[in-house]
Amino acid sequence: MPLIKFITVNGETREVNAESGSNLMQVALDNGIDEILGECGGSCSCATCHCYIGDDWLSKTGKPDDIEQEMLECALEPAVNSRLSCQVNISDELDGMVVHLPAAQY
């Protein structure tokens, strides 16, 4: 099971184990990561699961497709490393991935 490190805006780190084949949003919700809301249930239609992927992990998570990129425009403070966590699929290759959480989703 890959280990994912969620880092809050205050610098607190929460490490959780993720099941390969799930998505990052579901991992966050299942582990009480309150900064990820996931209001649309993972259908890439609300941007309330916005997060920032650690720079060293961007090549492993891939780039947002056109639909995700459009939704990221609705997120607060999007950046080049922004992703919707519902669109990041967990694989063994992501073991140790660092995910920075936003200050707010709205």
Amino acid at 76: L
pLDDT single digits (tens) 64-101: 999 999 999 999 999 999 999 999 999 999 999 999 99
What values do phi and psi take at 94, rounded to 5? -95, 10
Note the pTM of the prediction, 2 decimals.
0.96
Which H helix or E strand runs over 24? Answer: helix 24-30
DSSP one-letter code for 70: H
pLDDT single digits (tens) 22-74: 999 999 999 999 999 999 999 999 999 999 999 999 999 999 999 999 999 99
For each of the domains in the chain, give its residue range(s) and CATH number, in order of start.
Answer: 3-100 (3.10.20.30)
